[in-house]
Amino acid sequence: MAKKRINLTRVVYDKDDYRKTIDTSFNELLPVVPEEETDTITIEQFFEFYNDLFFDIPKTGENSHNTLIQQSTEYVGEQQTNEELEALVEEVNSLREQLLEAQTELADIKQQDIENIDLSQIT
């Protein structure tokens, strides 16, 4: 077997040239994560997923619509919900009063009609 001779060349840098030429940081050891592969989604994407999964989400239990309501209420606060409820209760009470007034007027009109009936026409 014939021996082959391999010539090696060695480049020597002085201290200043070495730091300028050779990258001594450890950033090459870190895995490169492309931006496209991140696990974050946009708010628009979240609502698209939510709308797509709406009927697949259980009403109660873990990871349910009830859980979403509770978490959102804790975050937003119950004040907004209570204010809306109070406004609705006020509207219902107002409508009940209007209905009672209309029923009273109708009863008065019926009573007047009864009193105005000529008994001679009945016989």
> CA 116 to CA 48: how far, in whole Å?
67
Residue by residue, pLDDT tens for the chain (123 residues) are 678 888 888 888 788 887 777 777 766 666 666 666 557 888 999 999 999 999 999 999 999 999 998 898 888 776 666 788 888 999 999 999 999 999 999 999 998 888 887 665 665
> CA 35 to CA 39: how far, in whole Å?
9
pTM as predicted: 0.35
